[in-house]
Amino acid sequence: MTSPTHREFACALIIDTFGRFLLQQRDDIPSIIQAGKIGMFGGHREASESFLECVAREIREELSYAVPEHRFEYLTSYNDADIDAGVGTLHGEFFILRDIPVDELVVTEGSLRIVRPDEIDSLTNSLTPIAKMLLKAALERDRELALSWKTTRHTGM
C-alpha cells in the first residue's frame, strides 16, 4: 500500500507518425504537481494494476486513444526521491510509444504540445523534472531518436 508521501505512476514518451514528440502541457492549477509545466502523458497506478496496464489506461483516458500493451516499449524505471513533487518517494515506470496518429487524439487532461526533437532544448525550463530525465534517457538509449534531433526530415511539420 502506498503512503501519502509515496507515489507510483507510469508514463510514456509518445512519438507521432512524423517523429515529433507529443507532450502534455499540464493544466495551470496550483493543486496539481508541476502545474503549467510540460510533461509526459500518464498517471498514478491504481490498486493491483501493473505499470504497463497503468500507462495503457492513462493514455486511453487522457488521449481517448486505445493502444495495446504490446506497443509500449520499456524505457526505464525510477525509484528514488520524488523529483516532481519535491517531497516523498516515487516509483515510476516509463515507456516509449511510437507511430501515433496525432489527428486521432482527443486530449482530455491538459493540452497537447507537439514538439520536434530539435525544439526540446528551447523548452528545458518549461519541462517537468521527470520529463527532462525521460527525454535524456530516451535519447541516450535510442539512436534513432538521437539522430532525429539532427535531421531535417520533419522540417515544416
Q: Among candidates 39, 20, 38, 14, which has minimal Cα distance to 115?
A: 20
The Cα-based distances of 109 to 19, 25, 40, 74, 139 in angstroms read 22, 9, 11, 23, 26
The answer as to whether 157 is a domain residue is no
Nine-digit cell string for 21: 514528440
pLDDT of residue 144: 63
Which residue range forms the structural domain that includes residue 141? 6-148
The answer as to whether 82 is a domain residue is yes
pLDDT of residue 140: 79
Rounded mean pLDDT of 89-101? 96
- Lowest-confidence region among 2-11, 38-47, 54-63, 96-105: 2-11
Query: For the chain, where are the alpha helices, taking DSSP H only?
Result: 51-63, 129-141, 143-148
pTM to 2 decimal places: 0.86
* Total structural domains within the chain: 1
